[in-house]
Amino acid sequence: MKKIVAIVLISFVGFLGCSDGNDGTTTVGKANPVAPFGIIETPTPAYEWTPVSGVTKYRLMVHDTNQASTTQDTSETAVIDEWYTAEESGCATEEGLCMVTPTAEVIGKNEFKVQACANTNCGQWSESLDFDFTAMNVPRFTDNDDGTVTDSKTNLMWSKDANLLGGSMYMDAVQKCDEYPVYGLGGYHDWRLPSMPELKSLIDTSQSDPALPPGNPFINVQLYYYWTTMVSEPGYHNVVYMDNGGVGFAYDWDELYVWPVRSGN
C-alpha cells in the first residue's frame, strides 16, 4: 500500500450554506451530524458533529420523530434546543468532532440536527440524523455464516472481512463495492461504501487496536484509515482510523481501506 500523503486528524471544512444574517453577505458553513446513530444504550447520549471553520457557537435541536411533521422545526416542540460555544463543544481548534452531552433525556425514536453560527450570522441547518433509545435484548452482532455480519444496533450488514477489498483510491473503492468479490456477497447486490455516521457507529472509543466493541466477529481489521462517503472539501473525503476510532480526511488519490456495507432491510 502506498504511504498516505497529507492526512491529518481533522480540520473539517463544512459545505457553505446561505447566511441567516440580515445583510445577506456572509456565508457560514453547514455542520454534519455524526452520532448518535441507530439504537443507543443511554437516554442521555453524546451528540457529535463536524466542526465548521470560523464558527463561534452551535445550536443543537432534538425532536421526537413521532411529532407531526408540521411542528418538527419549532423550538416549542423540541426535546432539546440548546446553544453551545465552540469551546463548550470541544471543537474550537477544529481538530476533532464537536461533542456535547446534554442532561435532558430522550426516549423512543428521535432525530437531531445542528446549526452553525459565526456571532449573529447563522448558516443552514444540517441534515437530521435519526436515533432510537431502545433496550437491547439481543446480541449486537450476528455472524450470518456467509461472509456477512448484521449489526442489530443499526440494522446494517457489513462484510465480515474488513480487508476483503484491500486498499484503494476513493473512486476505485466506490467501484469495488459494486464488483467482485463484494458483488453478490451473502446473496446481496447492493453493497456500498459507508457514510461517516455508519462507519463511526462501529467505533468503541474505550477499545483500541482496533477500536471496536469487545467480542465482535469481524476479521482482518486494519489499524489504519477507512474511507467514508462524507466529503470534507473538494478532492477530499472523511475517513475513520480503526486504531483508536479517530476521524480525519484524506486526498481522494490516497490508498485507504474499504469496508463494504449495505442496509439490512
Q: 29-49 pLDDT, tens per residue? A: 999 999 999 999 899 999 999
CA 196/CA 261 separation, integer angstroms: 12
DSSP secondary structure letters along 198-256: HHHTT--TT--SS-S-TT---B---SSEEEEEEEEETTEEEEEETTT--EEEEETTS-E
At 74-120, the pLDDT tens digits run 666 899 999 999 999 999 998 889 999 999 999 999 999 999 999 99
Residues of the chain with CATH 3.10.100: 141-263
Beta-strand pair 148-151/225-233:
unpaired
CATH 2.60.40.10 assigned to 14-133: yes
- Cell numbers 472509543 correspond to 205
**Range 195-201 average pLDDT:** 96
3-class DSSP assignment, residue 196: helix
pLDDT band with cut points at 50, 70 and 90 for residue 18: very low
**Range 120-149 average pLDDT:** 91
Q: Are 242 and 258 in contact (CB under 8 A)?
A: no
Long-range CB pairs of 208-212 (<8 Å, 24+ gap) are 208/243, 208/244, 208/245, 209/243, 210/242, 210/243, 211/242, 211/243, 211/244, 211/245, 212/242
Q: Mark residue 186 as left, alpha or beta (left: phi above 0; alpha: psi -120 to 50; beta: remaining).
A: left
Residue 182 is predicted with a pLDDT of 82
Indicate whether 17 pLDDT > 70.
Answer: no
CATH number of 141-263: 3.10.100
Residues of the chain with CATH 2.60.40.10: 14-133
pTM of the shown model: 0.81
- Cell numbers 444540517 correspond to 126
Indicate whether 13 pLDDT > 50.
Answer: no
58 CB-contact burial (10 Å; exposed 0-12 / middle 13-18 / buried 19+): buried
Give the angle 154-157-162 at the CA atoms, nearest 5°: 115
User: Per the structure block, which three cell numbers stand in for 187?
Assistant: 446473496
CA 167/CA 161 separation, integer angstroms: 13
